[in-house]
Structure 1
Amino acid sequence: MAGSMSMLVGARAIQGLGSGGLMVTATALIGEIIPMRERYQRMLGAVFGVTTVIGPLLGGLFTDHLGWRWAFYINLPISVVVIVVAAATIPALAKATRPVIDYWGIVLIGLGASALTLATSWGGTTYAWSSPMIIGLFVGSVAAIGVFVWVESRVSEPILPPRLFRDPVFTICCVLSFVVGFAMLGVMTYLPTFMQFVNGVSATVSGMRTLPMVAGMLITSTGTGILVGRTGRYKLYPVLGTATMAIALALLSRMDNSTPFLLQSLYLLILGVGIGASMQVLTLIVQNTARFDDLGVATSGVTFFRTIGSSFGAAIFGSLFSNFLAREISSVKVPPEATESPQALHALPHDAAIPVINAYADSLDLVFLCATPVAVIGFVVALFLKEVPLRGTDSALAADMGEGFGMPNSFSPDKLLEIAISNAMRGFPHIGLHKLREHAGVSMPIAPLWALVQANRFLRATGSAEVSRIAQWYRIPPEVIDPAFNELVENGYALRTNDHIWLTDPGRQEVDKISEAINQYLVERLSSTPDFEDRADREQIQAALERISRRIVTDTDWRENPIPALPGASPAR
């Protein structure tokens, strides 16, 4: 509905606020329920790949047949579906403590980054590099960033603590994240332009021609997630990824209007492989090495540098492209619309169009060529990346805030640790009652033990435990589980009045044994990591383990290990 560029830009700013909130919420929810060493990285990579495929295709289709406004209209029904699904499925979370927000830090870094992006975008195109506007933007950016650094060293909860940069792993990951964002978005922005102006294809076809790159990104992002999860090693992937990016960009810089489609697709596939291998593991690396109380800001810091790199890449490459193209076509005698519309350009006779086509090809090749040394810098930096073996549980203590988590978390370190260990449990092999019974030294048979933990679960959750409610929960007849609860009563572990069950002191002691067995299991998992014994926060971890162990006994429904001693017990899945 925008009637002017100002209205469009303003609406896009509002849209950015909403999408930023969605990104934070989505990644935070993922961090709550999915452990790091299983599907988190691969799921994000898959979502990114699918949306990257659908976006250009729909955008090109709308541009060719319906108009650019449909690129925004299509989001309205999608948003309605998301709202309905979110309202129905997102679980209620415990109310967090009031967060301490670094408002000054947010404003200053926003001003500094925006001014620098505008300076690199407008310089040499809208304004001369020596103009007061561009110089003022550079000076303002430096001043804002300088004040930001000063503020961050003094506030209690900085959005980007300066101490993080004392860690060489974090610093290198930030540089790599900047490089990947710089090269990736800077190049991806101009690939459709090359295909439409140089190859003469429609917007829809140009979107389809980027599919090899998206396929490469999807394959390597999911593949590296699997390999890192299985091996715990990650340094190889950013090294190979940045090297592959450099090779692909050098190849792309050699394209012209005679480059065959298959060769062009091969170059894009190689580029996608490099980007996918480099992009997905950087957050995981930081989460594996940062201090526990810095996890939220460390992961958001890496994401911030990639975002800034993307903005700078698009701005700087855009400035290079515009300046070089203007110089190349200044002497070409064609209608003005032919230099701005690919349809008008390719409607001209071949001899008249070829100078403009070559000018676009040379200008875009310059963009790809200038991106090559950026990827080479990333390769050199990646060689200095220190590798800390990714550990099963210790890595899961990285609270997995998600790549889009751009603000300090509102949880205390103790609460974050409890959440992280709870998340880590989802990555462990299933802990069944058989195993826990042996580990805890409980002599009770499996059937009454299952009844015991179910009674404890319902008593803790609702204040009362009725056999009929437990049976209804598992969708099995009460007669099937009655004998197990009667056995509890006969052995003094519970009292029963009609349908109601209460645990006796011996029953509660058996529950405590199970809780301690879970605690020991977690300790054994943590102890398998090389530095667990020397961790400064080991007491915090132990206290969190005890809380988690007690909660697991209450929260787990033990569906995979119901009452095997009783025939006919088949709980609903």
Structure 2
Amino acid sequence: MSHRQIMEALSGLMLGLFVAILSSTIVSTALPTILADIGGGQEAYTWIVTAALLAVTATTPLWGKMSDLVSKKLLVQLALVLYILASVTAGFAQNAGMLIACRVVQGIGAGGLSALSQVIMAAMISPRQRGRYSGYLGATFAVATVGGPLIGGVITDTSWLGWRWCFYVVVPFALIALVVLQKTIHLPVVKRETKVDWLGAFFVTAAVCLLMVWVTLAGDKYPWLSWQTYVMVPGAVVLGLIFLLVEAKAREPIIPLRLFRNGTITLTSMSSVFVGVAMFAGTYFLSQYFQLGRDKTPAMSGVMTIPMVAGLFVASTLSGQIITRTGRWKAFLVAGGIFLTAGAALLGLIRHDTPYWQVAVYTALLGVGIGMMMQNLVLAVQNQVATEDLGSASSLVTFFRTLGGAIGVAALGAALSNRITHYMQDGFASLGIPMPATQGGEANLPDLSKLPVPIRQITEVAYGHGLADIFLYASPFAFIAFLLVLFIREVPLKTASGLQQSAGVPAHSAAAAAQQPAATALAEEELMDGISIHGSVSGADGTAVASATVTLISLQGRQLGRAVARHDGSYAIDSPGAGSYVLIAAAEGHQPQATTVVVGNEPLTHDIVLSGTSGLAGVVRALADAVPVADAMVVVTDVRGEVLATGKTGPAGTFSFDELPAGTFTVAVNASGYRPVALPVEVGAAGITRIEVELRSGAYLQGTVRAGADRRPLNDARVTLLDAAGNVAGTATTGDDGTYAFTDLDAGDYTLIASGYPPVATSMTVDSYGGEGYDVELGHPQQ
């Protein structure tokens, strides 16, 4: 895809992501005002934030897995529709409970937008080039983060609008995003049988919910060491173990456990948990600090968060550009961990009267750390996985980041409630009066403008000091994230996008264009003034090949121009002048072609015919438990029985054969411990035909035939095996040691007949694993 096509496609994604982040930051600024209106204290504040994060956490891997199976475009549109409906309903909320329920649905939609934006970008753009475009997503995050508090503050401070418009204002943006996505996203749809892992989604949600309820209420509603703790914590652990068991058995798990065999994926996932704690602490608790600790209006609190957002914007954009140029990314993760830790630790030193310039510097450091780590952790994972796991792996990082954020916000919110109560008690004690029952962490969030001056000062001091403690608690988690990224091994970034990898484009072919210095300027189909080369691109059958890429290079290998064929297959590209050049044409489902063209002083007409490519790929699984079967032999034969291709499945049970001719073939598969299977397959004229093969376990039966008083092994005895219907399932003749064996049996009832002496018939049942030691004794009646 050209730069222009990529930016057009990303525009809808960035707008959708902007909507998700904007509503979140608008709400975080308006929450003190909202809860003062509909009722609710620090606990309600925490749960309104946490409910959305929990929904994002539970559904992100589900969205990611579904994107590997069905239309990515349809999924992102569905996420937007859910988001619109939830936002409109939230605007009518009458109490904190209704608002929390709406935030759950908003979180489901936001989980889809967050996960799918990364997945779709990975499908279109190679890891080497992705840093540049990840910077654009980071910039979108930054603009929405700074715009949300400003818009939310203005709406909340405007009497004729009111806080409910904080939810309504995002709806037009979401509707525009729907239209833009429909026009700009054009990705191939994977069509195959799918089975969504609803059971896994249930158990991971249940485990996280139970853990978060415990974290939120422990130390407030009941002691940390109490019977509730002894029930909830082991219960969450058991639910987590059940989730792991379900994922190990699931045919299409939402979190493929095999991904964690890769050390980079394991370390980035663990690091994302701790980054989430520090990241969401900064974005959700800063507004409270400015409004309740420094008595600023919602609009002004939004303005005062600009340094953090500016740091995030600059760090994500610049790091993305540098990564694209150099291909080196680990240094930015390490530096991000240092900035994140420093920013959180320094914010732990602030008070309600700390000079703003100091707060601005500390928040900027926090923003720089977030900007360097957030997108680049995803990039590190995407660079490590195969294209079929791109959605699952991308959503994995987002899942663990939001999981850390959800648990972190819940835990830090509970700690904040406790610290505020503590500091307000100290404040009232210093005045020599008891603290009113309506004050403290459990009370409704205060409206400072309505409080007497002494009470307002106590409240500001309590919130200023309490929120600083929260950042101090978050700093060790940021430091752990820094330690983890130190051990991540830096792997050179791939130069082929997800779709190119699926189509089998070699890395060096994709790299060639990326390494040309003129590629960026020419990628937008800006043709140079010169002599035109034009014509049409068609397939072997004469049909037009739309969207074929035609590239003009010099004989020295320098890229001179590039064009994309129109819907009728026509193309036009300008050469610098008369001379000899190389014209390269490539299209998905076709063999690339390079030809030498000689350009004179007149426009040159040059038609291109591309031959189609076809192939066969698939996966072999056990029928009983859907576990992939490794080292299975796969043989492809034609209608005459001629062997065309053979190969063995890999560790994931996958196999592939490239450049097969179109036609009908027979695929035979056999593996140790399974019954062989053969099935017909129709391979199309272009593209990869994908199949799934299921193998049944093959049972076996063996034993020894003995005869005589001394029960000696009997040689040359005939053994016949009949199935339950009386049909002969197999025959065997014993050797010198008297043994016999039958393999590749179906589980069921059988009759074993041995002869050589008077025959003996024995009934038996063979399970799916077979059996050993079915010995038979023969003898004359008088014996």
TM-score by length of 2: 0.53
Query: Which one-letter code corresponds to 1:429 in the other structure?
Result: A
Pair 1:184–1:327, CA change in 2 (3 A): same
Q: Deviations over 1:100-123 (max 9, x none)?
A: 322221111111112212221222
Whether the aligned pair in 1 keeps the contact of 2:149 and 2:299 (CA below 8 Å) is yes
2:468 match = 365
**How far does residue 187 in structure 1 lie from its aligned partner after superposition?**
2.9
Q: Secondary structure at the match of 1:451?
A: strand
Pair 1:544–1:425, CA change in 2 (3 A): farther
1:482 match = none
Whether the aligned pair in 2 keeps the contact of 1:35 and 1:424 (CA below 8 Å) is no
1:511 match = 609
1:221 match = 316
Q: Does 1:543 align with 2:636?
A: no
In 2, the alpha carbon distance for the partners of 1:13 and 1:376 equals: 30
In 2, the alpha carbon distance for the partners of 1:427 and 1:171 equals: 28
**How far does residue 310 in structure 1 lie from its aligned partner after superposition?**
0.7
Q: Does 1:459 align with 2:543?
A: yes
**How far does residue 293 in structure 1 lie from its aligned partner after superposition?**
4.7
Q: Secondary structure at the match of 1:2?
A: coil
**Worse overlay, 49-58 or 420-429:** 420-429
Whether the aligned pair in 2 keeps the contact of 1:421 and 1:545 (CA below 8 Å) is no
Q: Give the alignment partner of residue 53 of structure 1, picking from 146, 151, 155.
A: 146
In 2, the alpha carbon distance for the partners of 1:62 and 1:105 equals: 41
In 1, the alpha carbon distance for the partners of 2:515 and 2:324 equals: 20
Q: Deviations over 1:257-302 (max 9, x none)?
A: 3321222111111111111112111111112223555443222222
What CA RMSD, in Å, does the superposition of the two structures yield over aligned residues? 4.0
2:384 match = 289
Pair 1:355–1:36, CA change in 2 (3 A): same
Pair 1:364–1:148, CA change in 2 (3 A): same
1:259 match = 354
Q: Give the alignment partner of residue 133 of structure 2, picking from 25, 37, 40.
A: 40
Pair 1:387–1:455, CA change in 2 (3 A): closer
**How far does residue 241 in structure 1 lie from its aligned partner after superposition?**
0.9
Whether the aligned pair in 1 keeps the contact of 2:495 and 2:510 (CA below 8 Å) is no
**How far does residue 212 in structure 1 lie from its aligned partner after superposition?**
0.7
Q: How does 1:353-432 map to 2 (within 5 A)?
A: 353-393=456-496, 396=497, 399=498, 417-419=501-503, 421=505, 429=513
Q: Give the alignment partner of residue 119 of structure 1, picking from 214, 222, 239.
A: 214
Q: How does 1:11-90 map to 2 (within 5 A)?
A: 11-38=102-129, 39-65=132-158, 66-90=161-185
1:184 match = 279
Q: Secondary structure at the match of 2:353?
A: coil
1:490 match = none
In 2, the alpha carbon distance for the partners of 1:475 and 1:392 equals: 26
Pair 1:181–1:188, CA change in 2 (3 A): same
Q: Give the alignment partner of residue 6 of structure 1, picking from 97, 100, 105.
A: 97
Whether the aligned pair in 2 keeps the contact of 1:249 and 1:372 (CA below 8 Å) is yes
In 1, the alpha carbon distance for the partners of 2:686 and 2:531 equals: 21
Q: Does 1:236 align with 2:327?
A: no
In 1, the alpha carbon distance for the partners of 2:200 and 2:536 equals: 52
1:155 match = 250
Whether the aligned pair in 2 keeps the contact of 1:63 and 1:203 (CA below 8 Å) is yes
Pair 1:421–1:128, CA change in 2 (3 A): farther
**How far does residue 470 in structure 1 lie from its aligned partner after superposition?**
8.1
1:488 match = none
In 1, the alpha carbon distance for the partners of 2:149 and 2:504 equals: 37
Query: Which one-letter code corresponds to 2:122 in the other structure?
Result: G
Query: Which one-letter code corresponds to 2:110 in the other structure?
Result: S
Q: Deviations over 1:175-202 (max 9, x none)?
A: 1111111111023211111111221111
Count of residues in Structure 1 that have an aligned counterpart in Structure 2: 461
Whether the aligned pair in 2 keeps the contact of 1:187 and 1:367 (CA below 8 Å) is no
Query: Which one-letter code corresponds to 1:9 in the other structure?
Result: I
In 2, the alpha carbon distance for the partners of 1:279 and 1:152 equals: 26
Whether the aligned pair in 1 keeps the contact of 2:344 and 2:474 (CA below 8 Å) is yes
Q: Which of the two has greater strand per residue?
A: 2
Pair 1:420–1:254, CA change in 2 (3 A): farther
Query: Which one-letter code corresponds to 1:418 in the other structure?
Result: S
Structure with larger Rg: 2
Q: Does 1:194 align with 2:289?
A: yes
Query: Which one-letter code corresponds to 2:139 in the other structure?
Result: A
**How far does residue 205 in structure 1 lie from its aligned partner after superposition?**
0.7
In 2, the alpha carbon distance for the partners of 1:234 and 1:124 equals: 42
1:411 match = none
1:277 match = 372
Q: Deviations over 1:386-421 (max 9, x none)?
A: 11222433xx4xx3xxxxxxxxxxxxxxx8832574
In 1, the alpha carbon distance for the partners of 2:567 and 2:170 equals: 44
**How far does residue 305 in structure 1 lie from its aligned partner after superposition?**
0.7
In 2, the alpha carbon distance for the partners of 1:368 and 1:182 equals: 10
Query: Which one-letter code corresponds to 1:230 in the other structure?
Result: R
Pair 1:427–1:348, CA change in 2 (3 A): farther
In 2, the alpha carbon distance for the partners of 1:83 and 1:132 equals: 49
In 1, the alpha carbon distance for the partners of 2:660 and 2:151 equals: 49
**How far does residue 148 in structure 1 lie from its aligned partner after superposition?**
0.9
In 2, the alpha carbon distance for the partners of 1:264 and 1:448 equals: 60
Query: Which one-letter code corresponds to 1:61 in the other structure?
Result: V
Q: Does 1:170 align with 2:265?
A: yes
Pair 1:112–1:545, CA change in 2 (3 A): farther
**How far does residue 157 in structure 1 lie from its aligned partner after superposition?**
2.4
Query: Which one-letter code corresponds to 1:44 in the other structure?
Result: L
In 2, the alpha carbon distance for the partners of 1:205 and 1:45 equals: 24
Pair 1:344–1:204, CA change in 2 (3 A): same
Pair 1:546–1:41, CA change in 2 (3 A): farther
1:527 match = none
Whether the aligned pair in 2 keeps the contact of 1:338 and 1:345 (CA below 8 Å) is no
Query: Which one-letter code corresponds to 2:474 in the other structure?
Result: A
In 2, the alpha carbon distance for the partners of 1:378 and 1:542 equals: 42
Query: Which one-letter code corresponds to 2:100 in the other structure?
Result: V
TM-score by length of 1: 0.70
Q: Secondary structure at the match of 2:258?
A: helix
In 1, the alpha carbon distance for the partners of 2:382 and 2:165 equals: 39
Instruction: State, as a whole percentage, how many aligned pairs show the same letter.
Output: 32
**How far does residue 311 in structure 1 lie from its aligned partner after superposition?**
0.5
In 2, the alpha carbon distance for the partners of 1:324 and 1:40 equals: 42
Whether the aligned pair in 1 keeps the contact of 2:267 and 2:485 (CA below 8 Å) is yes
Whether the aligned pair in 2 keeps the contact of 1:123 and 1:129 (CA below 8 Å) is yes
Query: Which one-letter code corresponds to 2:112 in the other structure?
Result: G
Pair 1:292–1:88, CA change in 2 (3 A): closer
In 2, the alpha carbon distance for the partners of 1:25 and 1:196 equals: 34
Whether the aligned pair in 1 keeps the contact of 2:337 and 2:478 (CA below 8 Å) is yes
Q: Secondary structure at the match of 1:511?
A: strand
Query: Which one-letter code corresponds to 1:304 in the other structure?
Result: F
Q: Deviations over 1:411-439 (max 9, x none)?
A: xxxx883257499977752899xxxxxxx
Pair 1:90–1:379, CA change in 2 (3 A): closer
Q: Deviations over 1:223-269 (max 9, x none)?
A: 11112222121221111111111111121111113321222111111
Unaligned runs of 5+ in 1: 400-414, 433-445, 463-468, 477-506, 516-535, 553-573
Q: How does 1:471-486 map to 2 (within 5 A)?
A: none
In 2, the alpha carbon distance for the partners of 1:431 and 1:275 equals: 30
**How far does residue 52 in structure 1 lie from its aligned partner after superposition?**
1.2
Query: Which one-letter code corresponds to 2:124 in the other structure?
Result: I
2:410 match = 315
